[in-house]
Structure 1
Amino acid sequence: MKLFIRNMRKIGLLTISLISFNTVMAQKTNVVSAAVEYKKYEPSLMMQKFDDAKNSLLSAKKYIDLAMQDATTKNDEKAHYYNAIINYCLAELSGMGKYDDLKLYQNDSIEGVIKNSVAIASKKSQWKIEVTDFFNGRVSQAVMIGEMMYKQKKYDMAFAGFAMAYKIKDISGIDTDKENMKVNSIISARHQVDTLKQMDSLDRAIEFISKAMEIFPKSEELAIDGVNLALSMDNLVKAEEFFNRAAEAAPTNKVLFSNMGSIFLNQADKAYESFSTMTVTSPGYQEKSNEVEELYGKAEKNLLKALEIDPNYAEAAYNLGVLYLGRGEKLKIQAGQMDFNDPDYEAVSQRAKEMYEKAIAPLEIYIQQDPNNVGVLQVLFQVHRNAGNTEKAMEYKRRADEAGGE
């Protein structure tokens, strides 16, 4: 009896071991099956049997998903190698636009899946080499397309090729020449924008820049091209949208902020011309008043930002001085047209005076770099005199007279 029990125990242990072994083998088989199904994809794709290619990938995806869910293979480098390339190829195939049911592989979460699996697969040198070889092959194909299309002056397709190479390098963690792919992409994109402008297809050019910036959201060059293009179409809203992207990409570009400040100043002056013909009872009076204030505010903000970057930047200083002088003059005229008993008269008059005084600092920055500018010297004489700074006013008058006599 004891012998029988002992043998039963051995059989039980053997059975458990066999079950465990078979379970592990089943999960390992999922990786092998995924690999087998995946290997049918490339030949089908080369022969343009897209339905067969799709079915092979989906079958491979079914097996690799099982492997990713099992404790014995979810951290396996080989499993993650296949998980990375299978998901990449599904994203690749979905990019053809042929299969609606593959659109889910176009979202950012798939990129995250691929990046994660690349990182895990790369922990073992064998699979790191396999990962690098696979993605370098895809990069080579994309670069070849980009270069060929660029030579043919098909710049939209050239952009697509180089941008694809950049994206592949990004998700696969291959940094070699990654920045060059970005540069080539942006050069191609700007050529495409110029081509569309020559065709007078400005809306398409705007749309192309927007799409390109989805891939390169911090491209200062593309954003500035967008600003200029939108302004040429009198689309200030779109111009500001591109400007905000450019400002984010280049927060220390004083020229960018100065130019945008000048643009807002010009738009504010135009809006004021329309506003000045209105009365308080005119339809849309308050809305136009708010628009004027908002535009002048944006102009001031951007010019001040340019001077924050470079306190001696002459162009921004001059335009900021002009803004304050113009505002002071307009408020002075407004006050002159008001009844002395108007409750707002004193406030408007005081605001005009403040604007004149605010013009002094930026204009003095400017005059340091253009010391013989008669017009600016005369303005400084007038604003200092109005502010009660007699000594300073007379100094600028003398300098204006001397500069004017040259």
Structure 2
Amino acid sequence: MKLNKLNLGILCATFMFGAQGFSQNSNVVSAALEFQKYQPAFQAQDFDKAKTHLMEAKKFIDPAMKDESTKTDPKANYYNAIINYSLMEMSTYNGDDESLKVYQNDSILDVIETSIGHTESKRRYKSETEDFFKSKVGQAVFIGESMFKQKKYDMAFAGFAGAYKVKEIANIEEEQDAMRTNAIISARNYIDTLSKTGENEKALEFISSALEMFPGSEDLAISGVNIALNNNDLEKAESYFDEAAKASPENKVLFSNMGSIFLTAADKAYAEFNEMEITDEGYQEKSDEVEGLYTKAENNLKRAIEIDPEYAEAAYNLGVLYLGRGEKLKTTAAQMDFNNPDYDKVSKRSQEMYKKAIDPLEIYIKQDPNNSGVLNVLFQVHRNAGNTEKALEYKKRAEAAAAGAE
């Protein structure tokens, strides 16, 4: 029987496809053999030899990952995952090797994770993939535990963080949170060690790196805030605070503390501004800085009270902020000529600040009802606001509290 051209074409295509599939399976086998040579060389720390075998394995597995017959094959993807992971691992040992730097990019993680996904369709390669990555986790945990016992907390962090990352890559959920916790505990110990020895800059560099791996860590971010403040670096402290706020948006203490920090910085900036003349260079910039700091203080304290409407500490500090601003504006107005076009505006703003102090101070006084100082302030601000009845009530309470304290 003669084959027509169409059937001949189909037959040839089938033959070609079969030959190509055989070729790619051969590539997978060759990649596997090279990887087997890599492992003992790597364990013997013969990194040059290990790299040679690993790059050969990569040369064989890459075509298999592009071919239709093998690109989703579980065996091929098993080797693709472990070869690429090993190249990524080796790149950390040979950080200066230009040929390995490509394996330090995040894109390599996508390659590994995709291949791991393709191994799941066959029990054998799913199991072998899990065993490979679990062995890597075991090695990392051993390093973490050993280094922690030796109080080498930076290496302990590297071990536990490495274990966490491997679990994340291989989608091993078991004890993933525990590895994260252990890594952060190690990090905090290392940060404390650096802080005690005065190595604050080194501590901040470490915190920034650790936050890249654990961006949702409130503990690390707050450590960054505290050390940056010790360095008088409010800008850096604020960047760490932003990280902490993202991680813990309902943490009233965090917002209250940062509000108080901004309030202290604002008062300091105002004192410097108050010494300046309007003709001084940087006068307007300093004025803007003061306004910006007071606004940040106000916003953070208000956020703390939004989270907990009865939060006394934040309420007290917000009341103090408004009273302080009212007093400063009152002083500014008193120093102005009555004909100054800004006089009425400044005086009005001063009164507005005093009125704003009422609500937060009333929140506070509920928690501390016999604080004669706050009661007296409430008497004065209500009187200034024209709230005679309320003013008299607080006056009586202030007198009673003062008498009871004697």
Which amino acid in structure 1 is aligned with residue 130 of structure 2?
A: T
Tell me which residue corresponds to 1:82: 79
2:22 to 16, 25, 45: 25
Task: Measure the CA separation in 2 of the matches of 1:251 and 1:257.
Answer: 9
Residue 100 of structure 1 and its aligned partner are, at CA, apart by 2.1
Quick check: 91-100 or 386-395, which moved more? 91-100
Q: Is residue 150 of structure 2 the alignment partner of residue 157 of structure 1?
A: no
Q: Which position in structure 2 is the counterpart of 1:35? A: 32
**Matching residue of 2:307:** 309
- CA, structure 1 residues 32+296, in 2 after alignment: closer, same or farther (shift >3 Å)? same
- Aligned residue for 2:250, secondary structure, equals coil
Distance 2:99 2:303 in 1: 49
Worse-matched range after superposition: 29-38 or 135-144 = 29-38
Q: Which runs of 5+ in 2 are unaligned?
A: none
Distance 2:16 2:304 in 1: 73
1:223 maps to what in 2?
A: 221
Structure 1 position 337, deviation (Å): 0.3
| Partner-residue secondary structure (3-state), 1:312 | coil
| Equivalent residue, structure 1, for 2:262 | 264
Matching of residue 94 in structure 1 with residue 91 in structure 2: yes
Show the counterpart of 1:207: 205
The letter for the 2-side match of 1:114 is: I
- Is residue 373 from structure 1 mapped to residue 371 from structure 2 by the alignment? yes
Task: Assess, with a 3 A threshold, how the Cα gap between structure 1 residues 6 and 193 changes in structure 2: closer, same or farther.
Answer: closer
Q: CA deviation at 1:206?
A: 1.0
Residue identity opposite 2:19 in structure 1? N
Q: How many residues align?
A: 403
Q: How does 1:318-329 map to 2 (within 5 A)?
A: 318-329=316-327
- Give the whole-Å Cα distance in 1 for the aligned partners of 2:345 and 2:374: 28
Deviation string 1:247-267 (CA, Å, 9 cap, x unpaired) is: 000000000000000000000
Residues 26 and 317 of structure 1, relative CA distance in 2, 3 Å threshold: same
Aligned to 2:355: 357
Q: Residues 270-285 of structure 1: matches in 2 within 5 Å?
A: 270-285=268-283
Q: Which residue of 1 aligns with 2:333?
A: 335
Deviation at 1:283, TM superposition (A): 1.5
| Residue identity opposite 2:316 in structure 1 | Y
Name the % identity: 60
Going from structure 1 to structure 2, the CA distance change for 1:400 and 1:49 (only over 3 Å counts) comes to same
Q: SS state of the match for residue 58, structure 2?
A: helix
Matched position secondary structure for 2:237: helix
- The residue correspondences of 1:6-155 to structure 2 (distance < 5 A) are 17-96=14-93, 97-155=95-153
| Structure 1 position 224, deviation (Å) | 0.5
Letter in 2 for 1:221: D
**Counterpart-to-counterpart distance in 2, 1:283 and 1:219:** 42
CA deviations 1:343-382 (Å, max 9, x no partner) are: 1001000000000000000000000110000010000000
Which amino acid in 2 is paired with 1:343? P
Shift of 1:20: 3.3
**From 162, 169, 179, the counterpart of 1:171:** 169
SS class of match (1:81): helix
Deviation of 1:130 after TM superposition, in Å, equals 0.7
Query: TM-score of the superposition, structure 2-length normalised?
Result: 0.96
**1:234 to 1:17, Cα distance in 2 relative to 1, 3 A:** closer
Over 3 Å counting, the alpha-carbon distance change for 1:8 and 1:369 in structure 2 is closer
Q: Distance in 1 between matches of 2:8 and 2:142?
A: 62
My pick for the range that moved more, 53-62 or 162-171, is 53-62
Q: Partners of 2:331 and 2:3 in 1: how far apart?
A: 111
Runs of at least 5 residues in structure 1 that lack an aligned partner in the other structure? none
Identify which range, 51-60 or 314-323, moves more after superposition: 51-60
Aligned to 2:383: 385
* Deviation (angstroms), 1:127: 1.2
* Alpha-carbon distance in 2 for matches of 1:364, 1:12: 89
